[in-house]
Amino acid sequence: GGCFWGMEDLLRKIPGVLETEVGYTGGHLENPKYDDTHHSASGHAESVKVIYDPAKISFEQLLDVYWHHIDPLTPNAAFCDHGPQYRSIIFYGDTAQQRAAEESKRALDDSHRFPTPIVTAIQPATPFYPAEEYHQMFYKKNPAHYEAYRVGCRRDERTRQLWGEVAMSKEPAK
């Protein structure tokens, strides 16, 4: 979903999400750090590991929230952040999650909501490496900096443009 700060802020507010952790996954370098993912060809994307209670929220509902809070049309970028580390990507843990992710992407493409195809990748989860402590719950630790980033990046403006007011809801669609 791009910068992990914004995705973690969103995901932590969803009923049924028990824990989140920001980090790096999808690349080939072991134990990457921020500089490795942003200034080298490590292949990692900024990511959020989500632990959730399936009795309170389904994987499909999490996918719905995810789609409505990203820009699924721009390759290797998210809002004002550019580079492969910001690509939109869904990492799945098993075949049921893979199938659900692929079906949700196909349904969105088949809806013809957008004039161009969805570029969000769907890939098997690879080892997840936690980001540095200062990135964890950044939105709480540095609210002024986070809010300035969010406004300056025009994240809310772009999601509203793509999805309408549903993008501003933190609740999954029913």
**Per-residue confidence (pLDDT) for residue 62, from 0 to 100:** 96
**Per-residue confidence (pLDDT) for residue 164, from 0 to 100:** 87
Pick the more confident residue, 40 or 18. Answer: 18
Residue 11 CB-half CA count within 13 A:
29
- Residue 3 is among the residues annotated as catalytic for this protein: yes
**Per-residue confidence (pLDDT) for residue 168, from 0 to 100:** 46
Give which of 152, 156, 166, 139 is closest to 64, Cα–Cα: 166
Catalytic residue among 1, 3, 86, 108: 3
**Per-residue confidence (pLDDT) for residue 67, from 0 to 100:** 95
Alpha helices in 68-137 (DSSP H): 95-110
Average of per-residue pLDDT values in the chain: 91
Q: What is the spatial distance between Cα 42 and Cα 25, in angstroms, rounded to a whole number?
A: 10
**Per-residue confidence (pLDDT) for residue 166, from 0 to 100:** 58
Where does the pLDDT of residue 174 fall: very low under 50, low under 70, confident under 90, or very high at 90 and above?
very low
Alpha helices in the chain (DSSP H): 4-12, 34-39, 59-67, 95-110, 138-141, 143-153, 155-163
